[in-house]
Amino acid sequence: RTHLHELLRVRVQSNALFRPRPALPISSTDNSNRATRGKYTARPSGRSGPCALDLFLVAQLYIGHIHILLRPEACELLGIASIKMMALTPSSDIRRRRRRNDRRDISRGSRSFVSCAITGATMIQLLILPRIRALGLVPPERLRRLLDSTHRGDAPIQLMPCVYDGLTARLVAQSGFNVTFMTGFGVSSSRGFPDTQLISYHEMLMHADSVAEGLSSAALELSPNAPVAIPCIADGDTGYGNAINVKRTVHGYARSGMAGVMIEDQVSPKRCGHVLGKSVVGFDEAVQRIRAACDARDEYEALFGVKGPLILARTDSLVTDGFEDAIRRCQAFREVGCDMTFLESPTSKDQMREYCERVSGWKLANMLEGGRTPILPPAELQSMGYTMAAYPLTLLSASIKAMRESLDLIHEGKSTCDKILQFSETKDVVGFTKYSKEEQRYKYDE
């Protein structure tokens, strides 16, 4: 913005900005403008009135002041906008086709800098910003902004009820949360297995696609004019192999629209961090896994010109190798470039607080009801230094409890009406209402 301000200041001081120019007669030998001879006048080289660049600079300043980070697609739109702005002050060929009154107004410099700024800002607001909002920020950048605002203390800690399919994703989005997490425990359970890595990378990727679709459909229903799907962090487990597999995992989740990917240091096959029997790989291998994930994030940006998913580095070594080893791993993960860290299974407030003090960057607290870690209020977690709080099994456990109660009532021959939603509400939750509206929109007479 400072650079743009300087450009405008120089152009104003040099009288190059919006300076009126005297009109000159068109040459009688100019055959290309025979139809306009004697009716219009042309200008010498240079311009009068605001040009496309002037309006474009004003528009850029306007956008800078409202803190919009543009995707490449949005920049292309601004390129289109500059062409549209050029219509406000046409080239000499177009000016010859203008009516004399319009030419006289422009030649007198009637458009002041202030009116031009208002015009440019208005055009951006009316023509371009709706399309930029529709494009939105890429999911990793939306997540980054959310976490950064929490880290600075400008926003409360980010609460993440964890999802595992399209329906739970829709429910979280409809409930007004800013971010969510796709839990491997939930995905495994929904497919009828415990969280012991019995499901494959391909199956996890299928669920990531389902979650992304659920979040997108909910965003379109909640705000059809400016839909913004909430970002989701995906569970990448151990990366499903060596460091090269880790990179493929990150790339796959990025293509599915995930805002972040969690990679952990357990030995494969891994398991839930709050159950017995887990073990971790050595320190060097763990660090190389995270390095590979960070490289994949950066490669994705180089390939496609948009931010790759943020990397959440998790360690389970606290249980197996002690607190100091776990802190050492988290610090090393940060050194090789991870965006967020996750110390699994701290057993006390003191451990949680010390972890936040000794490890830099954004941090995740895992609020598993009945697990090893104390369940603390969000405000207390944020005061310790946590940026996010995940609730990995709340939706899964609540749904299991509700289904069991309903099954017991059915088994006993009793009514389930008090346990379920009205049919109309169920239809609305799963998307029938939106579908019907879309169906009517594209209806045609056969």
The strand pair at 41-42 and 24-25 is best described as antiparallel
Spatial distance between the Cα atoms of 122 and 114, rounded to a whole number of angstroms = 12
Does residue 201 sit in the same domain as residue 345? yes
End-to-end Cα separation, the chain, in angstroms:
55
Does residue 273 sit in the same domain as residue 408? no
- Per residue in 384-399, is it b (16+ CB within 10 Å) or e — as a string? bbbbbbbbbbebbbeb
Residue whose token pair is 């019995």? 198
Tokens of 282: 């050595």
Does residue 316 sit in the same domain as residue 419? no
Spatial distance between the Cα atoms of 262 and 239, rounded to a whole number of angstroms = 9
pLDDT reported for residue 64: 46
Mean pLDDT on 86-97 = 48
Mean pLDDT on 68-95 = 46
Q: Is residue 317 part of a domain?
A: yes
Which domain, by its residues, includes 207?
Answer: 135-396
Q: Is residue 282 part of a domain?
A: yes
Spatial distance between the Cα atoms of 81 and 374, rounded to a whole number of angstroms = 53
Does residue 414 sit in the same domain as residue 271? no
Q: What is the pLDDT of residues 144-162, one digit of tens each?
A: 999 999 999 999 999 999 9
Spatial distance between the Cα atoms of 186 and 24, rounded to a whole number of angstroms = 76
pLDDT at residue 292 tops 60:
yes
Does residue 257 sit in the same domain as residue 326? yes
Does residue 263 sit in the same domain as residue 411? no
φ/ψ region of 281 (left if φ > 0, alpha if ψ in -120 to 50, else beta) reads beta
Spatial distance between the Cα atoms of 39 and 421, rounded to a whole number of angstroms = 74
Does residue 313 sit in the same domain as residue 386? yes
Does residue 313 sit in the same domain as residue 416? no
Instruction: Give phi and psi for 299, each to the nearest 5.
Output: -65, -40
Does residue 209 sit in the same domain as residue 356? yes
pLDDT reported for residue 225: 86
Does residue 335 sit in the same domain as residue 227? yes
Q: What is the pLDDT of residues 337-393, one digit of tens each?
A: 999 999 999 999 999 999 999 999 999 999 999 999 999 999 999 999 999 999 999
Does residue 431 sit in the same domain as residue 282? no
pLDDT at residue 241 tops 80:
yes
Residue 159 and residue 389 in contact, taking contact as beta carbons nearer than 8 Å: yes
The strand pair at 362-366 and 41-42 is best described as unpaired
pLDDT reported for residue 272: 79
Q: What is the pLDDT of residues 380-432, one digit of tens each?
A: 999 999 999 999 999 999 999 999 999 999 999 999 999 999 999 999 999 99
Helix intervals (H) in 306-393? 317-321, 323-335, 349-358, 378-384
Mean pLDDT score of the chain: 80
Q: Is residue 279 part of a domain?
A: yes
What DSSP designation does 31 have? G
pLDDT over 70, % of the chain: 69
Does residue 269 sit in the same domain as residue 148? yes
Give me the number of domains the chain comprises. Answer: 2
